[in-house]
Amino acid sequence: MRLRGAAFRGHVVPEMARLDEFRFLVRALRPIDPDERAVRRLRADLGEGGISWQGVVELASQQLVTPTLYQTLRDKGLLAALPAEVRDYLEAVHTLNGARNRRIADQMVEITAALNRAEVEPVLLKGAAHLFADLHGDPAARMIGDIDLLVSSEQIDRAAAALAGIGYRAAGIEDMSYAEHHHRPPLMRADAVAPVELHTEPLFPAFGSLMSAQDVIGAARPVTIAGQRAWLPSTRHQIVLNIAHTQLSDRHYWSGQVSLRALIDLVRLRAQPDAASVWPEILDAFDRGGHVGACRAYLMLAERLFGQAAPPGLRPSVATRLACWRVELQRRSPRLMAIGASYGFHRAMLAELAATPVARRRVLGRLLHPDGYRRSLRSWRNHLSRAD
């Protein structure tokens, strides 16, 4: 068996349905059940064999959870039950990701120092925040694509100049979608591990009513990074960002897709001591923003896939049940996944058109830009290739 998988690419080969492999991967990634019944069942399945490890490994790579898979199997005491080559591969990716995350941490120390010298104290978002908050209890367990930093709109030019002073340059992406965007184009340096995105808002303008930069900055708590000063968002804002970014910005609610990496982050964020008290505010924000269905469906997915009970009082509606059913249905067919991805793209565009004037200008700018049609054609061809 030859194990393949692109450990550090943001976009790998199109993900196929692989329902059986998906179900096994989810079970392997589940937190430890207090009575250990799930662990015993998983151990029995591993002992019986019959697992398509090629498919599981490729799917874990596509979902960016390979080092997380190693961590959970290790914590459950199941590594010895794996085929030797699978265990060696998972351990190697976990080790490599740990080395990469240490380099990203060093990169963030230098970045934060440069920003502090310019009197800017950034708020760490998403993977950067999880790394320094030790959300996973293992700095090698989560894969990080880029470094997302939030600064106020008054500080954005000063922050960009500070990073330019230590060698960061725009990554050469000439994309009309960055006009009136919520973050600047990615910044890169030749020796840097991860690109840097400077945000003036945490979310796309279309979903900005869920939370603003002012909200996040005002509720953030300080964190020291090797003597440099930065901030971490509150648990409530991290949960809102996780749901909104995955379900709305990445269009998973409309496309019927699921990100296991993001869902695991949600499960761990909800396990934080202060998470139980924030749900009335979170649900109210999504309700007022017109996206409570996306929030409910995501929480129901966390319950179905990872066994994390929904917040008290949250009853799944028919729409959320159908959304979860659709996720499993699409995993049975690559063609359905391709159709869902295409629908999600266009449905998200309609949501932006119905949102704020800034969001409408952004969508119309894409529609009127000649390169937008070339991008749409490439995207559609990719969808067709997934269905072949």
96-105 pLDDT, tens digit each: 999 999 999 9
The three-state secondary structure class of 66 is helix
> Pairing mode, if any, of strands 196-199 and 147-150?
parallel
Please write the tens of the pLDDT for every residue from 11-36: 333 344 478 899 999 999 998 776 67
- The region of weakest confidence among 71-75, 202-206, 271-275, 293-297 is 202-206
**Structural domain spans, the chain:** 19-96, 97-387
Contacts of 347 by beta carbon, 8 Å cutoff, 6+ apart: 251, 254, 255
pLDDT reported for residue 376:
56
Distances (CA, A) of 368 to 181, 222, 335, 360, 377: 16, 43, 30, 12, 15
Please write the tens of the pLDDT for every residue from 119-171: 999 999 999 999 999 999 999 999 999 999 999 999 999 999 999 999 999 87
Overall average pLDDT of the 324-335 stretch: 85
pLDDT reported for residue 1:
42
- Residue 326 to residue 302: CA distance in whole angstroms: 15
Q: Which fold has domain 97-387?
A: Beta Polymerase; domain 2 (3.30.460)
φ and ψ at 213, to 5 degrees? Answer: -60, -40
Residue 10, pLDDT above cutoff 50 = no
φ and ψ at 124, to 5 degrees? Answer: -80, 135
The candidate with the shortest Cα–Cα distance to 130, out of 218, 210, 207, 64, is 64
Distances (CA, A) of 240 to 50, 145, 212, 225: 39, 20, 11, 24
pLDDT reported for residue 11:
31
Distances (CA, A) of 113 to 122, 151, 230, 355: 10, 14, 10, 37
pLDDT reported for residue 205:
82
Hey, which residues does 124 pair with through a beta bridge?
149
Distances (CA, A) of 248 to 17, 241, 242, 350: 22, 10, 10, 12
- The region of weakest confidence among 11-20, 212-221, 318-327 is 11-20
Distances (CA, A) of 227 to 113, 178, 230, 263: 9, 33, 10, 32
Judge if pTM exceeds 0.75: yes
Write out the two tokens for 348. 């998200």
The three-state secondary structure class of 99 is helix
Residue 136 one-letter amino acid: H
pLDDT reported for residue 332:
82
Let me know: does 179 contact 229? Beta carbons within 8 Å. no
Please write the tens of the pLDDT for every residue from 357-370: 655 566 566 555 56
pLDDT reported for residue 5:
39
Phi-psi region of 175 (alpha: psi -120 to 50; beta: other; left: phi over 0): beta
Please write the tens of the pLDDT for every residue from 330-359: 888 878 888 888 877 777 777 766 666 655
Q: Which helix (H) or strand (E) holds 90?
A: helix 84-117
Overall average pLDDT of the 256-260 stretch: 94
